[in-house]
Amino acid sequence: MGHWWQEKVVYQIYPRSFCDSNGDGIGDIPGIISKLDYLKNLGIGILWLSPVYCSPNEDNGYDISDYRDINPEYGTMKDMEILIFEAGKRDIRIIMDLVINHTSDQHEWFLKSRDKSSPYRDYYFWREGKNGKLPNNWTSFFAEDAWEYDEESGEYYLHLFAKGQPDLNFHHPKVLEEVKEILRFWLDKGIAGFRCDVINIIWKSSLSDGKKKLVLTGSEHYLSQEGNHEILRTLRKEVFDHYDCFTVGETVFVTPSMGRDLCDEKRKELDMIFSFEHMETDQFFVKWFPRKFSPKRFSRTLSKWQQALSWNANYLENHDQPRSVSRFSNDKEYLEASAKMLATLLLTLRGTPYIYQGQEIGMTNVAFTDIDQITDIESKNLYKMTEKLHIPKGYRWRMIMRGTREHARTPMQWDDSSQAGFTTGKPWIPVNGNYELINMKNQVENSGSVMNFYRTLITLRKENEVLLSGGFRELKISKNVFAYQRELEGTIFTVILNFTKKMVKADFKGQLLLSTYNEKTYHGVLLPYEAVILREEKQ
């Protein structure tokens, strides 16, 4: 295999909801340290921490007010250094979340930039309104205008996300210098790289009006621009290439060709990217307009990206997405079977697999009943905007239930004690009500559990080079079945996934290596939500 980060499995932790060590109801770094043996035993080789830096938490840490210090809610810098050290002892490396498209409006740079004469003024995009209107017609990712007026400053500032997330202006050379120093600060502490937040929109080629669109008016001026590639090449050459590290870009709205431009090895920009297209096959235009999930459309998109990039970052859920077992299969009568089927997909595609906390035990979406239960700014802004548009309340609620990021942010379910073992206090948001049924403790001793199936798959992947560096060939994509092959030097693994509760015929060659049903024999028929891996050696 080429790089160590291609062989390992990544586990994403949303620190606020992972494990609380001091009873304040907020997950923290000592809590993560206490779970390192669990993660080691699962077979994890890399931890991606969602932001733990100082933040006023308007967007739960994706609004950073000090890149070089730890949010006291999560612990201290000493705790962070201990985490890096203790993880390293277990051959687990840590990557941090790099959020440089914007800072918090509480960051000292922004606070100083409000003074027109400040040297920090041009760290951000400050502009006058035009004829009593906003500086341009851009819209934000969070269902608002993309400009906020600041009384003190007498001008507007650009924010593609929340008002508390002013965009940095990379046209100012000092901004890139500041970013390089932040990267070196963390890499010198021994982290192994970065998950780079919305890293393909950080260069705004122009602030002109955009073509009016349903989603993100103005994005043609900042989506994967040439200036963006120059920044990535510079960071790679001047920083990343001097450390044993890797980068994975979160690249919104990226197409295969944009993806290749961002992560082909010879481009020397990013090492891999999260594409979004497979996460958009069950929506119309934007996630708030649900479309019936189609295993065929989903499989075809995954297959397209497997062939489009030389190396993929494979994921089915994260802190921004609903729970995959609720979204792409059946979290009711086939919860265990379908969670294992999705695990088989994730761990046998070509690329680095990313598991999101709780996915390995089959955590599901939450049966929210009221908008007051939702804390996420993206959902709250959308609910407000659709109210202004007089969309009927019932439909607005269905939009929220379909797309709210809150589904993924309820506390990790460790056991069946109160608060699911996440905290001894009152959790910052309630635990999912199904924690007595779905929790790590009642799976660890059960050899047939979802969690132990993840462990088996992670080991299988580690022990079979064909799953690491083998090629990908699509075999069959039908209404209900996704089948593909991984091949390397005559060894062929055929993976067949049944996405429905019907039994389906799927007659392929090979010896049964693994089934999600602990089947010992395979006769060309898949049980509901069954996945099998067949093995053959080409003579």
Cβ–Cβ contacts within 10 Å for residue 282, how many?
18
Does residue 198 touch ligand TEU according to CB under 6 A?
Answer: yes
* Residue 250 among the catalytic residues: yes
Does residue 287 touch ligand TEU according to CB under 6 A?
Answer: yes
**Nearest distance from residue 28's CB to Ca ion, in Å?**
4
Residue 451 exposed, middle or buried by CB count within 10 Å (0-12, 13-18, 19+): buried
Does residue 320 touch ligand TEU according to CB under 6 A?
Answer: yes
Angle CA(511)–CA(343)–CA(459) in degrees, nearest 5? 65
**Nearest distance from residue 53's CB to ligand TEU, in Å?**
12
Q: Rounded CA gap, 531 and 512, in Å?
A: 11
- Residue 256 and residue 308 in contact, taking contact as beta carbons nearer than 8 Å: yes
Q: Which residue is nearest to ligand TEU (CB)?
A: 62
Picked from Ca ion, ligand TEU, none, the partner binding residue 221 (CB below 5 to 8 A depending on kind) is none
Query: Taking Cα atoms as reference points, which of 483, 512, 531 lies closest to residue 342?
Result: 531
Picked from ligand TEU, Ca ion, none, the partner binding residue 62 (CB below 5 to 8 A depending on kind) is ligand TEU
Picked from ligand TEU, Ca ion, none, the partner binding residue 313 (CB below 5 to 8 A depending on kind) is none
Does residue 316 touch ligand TEU according to CB under 6 A?
Answer: no
Tell me which of 197, 269, 282, 317 is the catalytic residue: 197
Contacting positions for Ca ion (CB under 5 A): 20, 22, 24, 26, 28
- The residues in 355-384 that bind ligand TEU, with binding defined as CB under 6 A, are 378
**Nearest distance from residue 426's CB to ligand TEU, in Å?**
24
Does residue 99 touch ligand TEU according to CB under 6 A?
Answer: yes
DSSP state letters, 18-30: T--SSSSSS--HH
* Residue 333 among the catalytic residues: no
Does residue 62 touch ligand TEU according to CB under 6 A?
Answer: yes
Give the single-character DSSP code of 265: G
First to last CA, the chain: 24
Q: Which two tokens stand for residue 429?
A: 């948001």
Query: Taking Cα atoms as reference points, which of 305, 297, 346 lies closest to residue 478?
Result: 297
**Nearest distance from residue 141's CB to ligand TEU, in Å?**
5
Picked from Ca ion, ligand TEU, none, the partner binding residue 28 (CB below 5 to 8 A depending on kind) is Ca ion
Picked from ligand TEU, Ca ion, none, the partner binding residue 167 (CB below 5 to 8 A depending on kind) is none
Interface with ligand TEU (CB under 6 A), residue from 20, 197, 360, 530: 197
Query: Taking Cα atoms as reference points, which of 506, 504, 478 lies closest to residue 494?
Result: 506
Q: Which two tokens stand for residue 77?
A: 């810098």
- Label residues 208-221 b or e (16+ Cβ within 10 Å = b): eebeeeeebbbbeb
Q: Rounded CA gap, 334 and 481, in Å?
A: 16
Tell me which of 250, 269, 271, 376 is the catalytic residue: 250
Catalytic residues, which ones?
Answer: 197, 250
Q: Which residues bind ligand TEU (CB under 6 A)?
A: 59, 62, 99, 141, 161, 197-198, 250, 252, 287, 319-320, 378, 405
